[in-house]
């Protein structure tokens, strides 16, 4: 069974998904970060595939993308780094990134590599739903990859239902209309939106992302969904670490979020 599906069956609440950019802060930190995430009790690791033009991302993640690219990160390098990772890391791994580098790598080749190294799911925010459904879905399924869609407070009910119907794993519920890196926390308008989606009785569990940064926001978000996703704040933790403090900082931070 896909590790993401299995996770939600075994743990329907308080799921913590942590995003980090591959090759950041240093090229070879990818596996160090993954191992530290598993050790500290993160439930899902979401690895960002860096891109020169990440339009849905705020400054923090943009800069981490640029640093990673300057470090020499690419899909080729990432798959090399992930070779053999399943001997050490058993939590679900998701690759997140923009469609262009994936298309240049070759969709089929990309999916094959994902399966080889043990990737469970993909988040490709600029892949159109229809294109996914008509062209990509069969290939993703062939290689055991779940495609995770985003919804926002502006996504219509009909579209949410369609997403729920054609995807598996979980739905990424963006907390507010914004790029990543916001600091608003969870507001009343967001609660209305979360409740509205919860009342829809969807097949797929939801994780709330954007603006989650600590135990307070994680706990609050977890009341309205199966758990939450942290990105920019974790990137800041990585940014403020040195080679020697990286591992401990990660473990300490993740533990503090889980409380």
149 contacts other proteins (rule: CB under 8 A)? yes
> Distance of CA 194 to CAs 19, 118, 154, 211, Å?
21, 32, 12, 14
Binding residues for other proteins, rule CB under 8 A, total: 39
Q: Give the chain's count of helices (H) and strands (E).
A: 13, 9
**Contacting range for other proteins; rule: CB under 8 A; set: 7-15, 49-57, 138-146, 230-238:** 49-57
- Closer residue to other proteins in complex, CB, 156/201: 156
69 contacts other proteins (rule: CB under 8 A)? yes
Phi/psi at 15 (5° precision) = -75, 125
How far does the chain reach from its first CA to its final CA, in angstroms? 30
Q: Are 41 and 88 in contact (CB under 8 A)?
A: no
Q: Are 67 and 48 in contact (CB under 8 A)?
A: no
- Closer residue to other proteins in complex, CB, 211/257: 211
Among 7, 18, 42, 75, contact with other proteins (rule: CB under 8 A): 75
> Annotated active-site positions, please?
46, 57
Question: What would the two tokens of residue 209 be?
Answer: 């992302």
- Closer residue to other proteins in complex, CB, 99/139: 99
What is the CA 148 to chain-centroid distance, rounded? 9
What is the CA 50 to chain-centroid distance, rounded? 13
185 contacts other proteins (rule: CB under 8 A)? no
Using alpha carbons, select from 199, 23, 179 the residue that is nearest to residue 101.
23
Among 151, 190, 226, 229, contact with other proteins (rule: CB under 8 A): 151
Among 104, 201, 242, 244, contact with other proteins (rule: CB under 8 A): 104
Among 51, 224, 234, 253, contact with other proteins (rule: CB under 8 A): 51
109 contacts other proteins (rule: CB under 8 A)? no
Query: Which residues contact other proteins by CB under 8 A?
Result: 51-53, 55-56, 58-59, 62, 66, 69, 74-76, 98-105, 125-128, 130-131, 149-152, 154-156, 159, 174, 177-179
């Amino acid at each position: 069974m896909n590790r993401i599906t299995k996770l939600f069956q075994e743990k329907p609440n308080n799921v913590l998904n942590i995003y980090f950019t591959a090759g950041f802060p240093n090229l070879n930190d990818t596996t160090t970060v993954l191992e530290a995430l598993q050790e500290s009790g993160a439930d899902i690791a979401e690895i960002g595939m860096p891109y020169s033009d990440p339009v849905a991302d705020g400054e923090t993640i943009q800069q981490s993308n640029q640093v990673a690219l300057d470090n020499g990160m690419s899909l080729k390098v990432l798959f090399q780094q992930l070779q053999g990772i399943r001997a050490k890391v058993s939590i679900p791994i998701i690759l997140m990134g923009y469609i262009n580098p994936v298309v240049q790598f070759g969709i089929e080749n990309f999916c094959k590599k994902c399966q080889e190294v043990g990737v469970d799911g993909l988040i490709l925010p600029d892949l159109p739903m229809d294109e996914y459904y008509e062209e990509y879905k069969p290939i993703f399924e062939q290689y055991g990859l779940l495609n995770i869609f985003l919804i926002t407070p502006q996504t219509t009910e009909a579209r949410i239902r369609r997403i729920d119907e054609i995807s598996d794993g979980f739905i990424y519920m963006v907390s507010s209309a914004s790029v990543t890196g916001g600091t608003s926390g969870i507001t009343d308008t967001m609660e209305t939106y979360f409740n509205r989606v919860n009342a829809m009785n969807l097949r797929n569990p939801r994780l709330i992302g954007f603006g989650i940064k600590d135990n307070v926001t994680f706990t609050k978000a977890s009341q309205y969904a199966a758990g939450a996703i942290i990105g920019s704040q974790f990137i800041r933790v990585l940014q403020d670490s040195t080679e020697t403090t990286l591992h401990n900082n990660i473990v300490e931070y993740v533990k503090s979020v889980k409380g």
